[in-house]
Amino acid sequence: MSRKPIMAGNWKMYKTPAETHAFFEAFKPLVRDAEHCEIIICPPFPNLHAAVEETKGSNITIGAQNLHWGREGAVTGEVSGHMLQAVGCSSVIIAHSERRQYFGETEPDVVRKAQAALEYGLTPIVCVGERLEEREGNRTEAVLGEQFDGGLAPLTPEQFAKLVIAYEPVWAIGTGKTATPEMAADAHRFIRARAAAKFGDALARGVRILYGGSVKPDNVKKLMAEEDIDGALVGGASLDPVTFAAVVKY
Ligand code: 13P
């Protein structure tokens, strides 16, 4: 089964609405002809409206970086899938390692956030990945297995069929240390095999697994040459329109 690549930018806590406008003005013409992949930009919440407006009628869709699992309620500081859908988002990142590390997000959160995202028509982009000490302790597959079993295996096959997975080794994020294409491909194959064991071959072959961690214009081509790498989730290199366009057009 052919899987259409996804090139996604995670802006993290960067850019104002004015900077969002300036980014898209420069970025849209650069990627106008890119039909080989889906392009997603995930700005901070206050920029979502501007980003959706800027990308209407384009080949770019907008995702959020987090959501709460409820629809509405007395939950100060949170944003729901219902609201993200209403503002025009198409997808949402779930359990990024920074959310796991700084805000204590766990596998049960992944399950309820992924379910909530799907309920509101948003594609969940669920992040998994090991920390440095886990890789050095030869625990990479054990950690990925636990994250799969706790966060993804509890979903129904219908739910699993609609999500995207992002493998982001924590030690490669923002450090300039990219996993080698072989290391990333090994992890992707492991995750796909886990998916096959739980959900069957057809769904496992269909699920897109993105790589994230210091993806740049000069390393993206080799990563994308790997059969099991279906795209990239890009932090720092997605902030500049020219740089991210070069990543998109690897
Ligand atoms: P960098 O591309 O800045 O390493 O960030 C990766 C990431 O965390 C994307 O979600």
From first to last of its 250 residues, the chain has per-residue pLDDT tens of 589 999 999 999 999 999 999 999 999 999 999 999 999 999 999 999 999 999 999 999 999 999 999 999 999 999 999 999 999 999 999 999 999 999 999 999 999 999 999 999 999 999 999 999 999 999 999 999 999 999 999 999 999 999 999 999 999 998 888 889 999 999 999 999 999 999 999 999 999 999 999 999 999 999 999 999 999 999 999 999 999 999 999 9
Give the C-alpha separation, 224 to 53, whole Å. Answer: 30
Q: Which of 7, 93, 233 to mutate to test the pocket of ligand 1 (most atoms within 8 A of CB)?
A: 233
User: What is the C-alpha to C-alpha distance for residues 210 and 238, in angstroms, rounded to an integer?
Assistant: 15
- Residue 75 Cα to ligand 1 midpoint, Å, equals 28
Q: Does the Cβ of 151 fall within 6 Å of ligand 1?
A: no
- Positions marked catalytic: 96, 168
Q: What angle, 0 to 180 degrees and rounded to 10, lies between the N-to-C axes of helices 241-248 and 17-31? A: 40
- Ligand 1, atom nearest to 172 Cα: 4
238 lines ligand 1 (CB under 6 A): no
pLDDT on residue 1: 57
pLDDT value for 108: 98
CB of 241 closer than 6 A to ligand 1?
no
CA dist., res. 193 & res. 59, Å (int): 32
Distance from the Cα of residue 151 to its chain's centroid: 15
98 Cα nearest atom in ligand 1: 8
Atom of ligand 1 nearest to the CA of 238: 2
> 214 C-alpha vs ligand 1 centroid, how far in Å?
6
**How far, in Å, is the centroid of ligand 1 from the Cα of 145?**
22
SS3 of 110, please? helix
Q: Please tell me the predicted confidence (pLDDT) of residue 182.
A: 96
How many CB atoms are closer than 10 A to CB 54? 21
Q: Is the CB of 99 under 6 A from ligand 1?
A: no
- Measured in angstroms, how far is the CA atom of residue 173 from the centroid of ligand 1? 5
Question: Residue 236 Cα, ligand 1 centroid: separation in angstroms?
Answer: 6
Q: Is 173 in the pocket of ligand 1 (CB under 6 A)?
A: yes
Residues whose CB is less than 8 angstroms from the CB of residue 125 and which lie 6 or more positions away in sequence, other chains included: 8, 40, 63, 91, 92, 93, 94, 163, 164, 165, 166, 210, 233
Amino acid at position 23, single letter: F
| CA trace torsion 176, 177, 182, 187 (10° rounding) | -100
Per-residue confidence (pLDDT) for residue 176, from 0 to 100: 84
Query: What pLDDT is recorded for position 143?
Result: 98
Q: Report the candidate in 222, 135, 121 with the shortest Cα–Cα distance to residue 171.
A: 135
Neighbours of 202 (CB within 10 A): 11
pLDDT of residue 178: 84
pLDDT at res. 174: 87
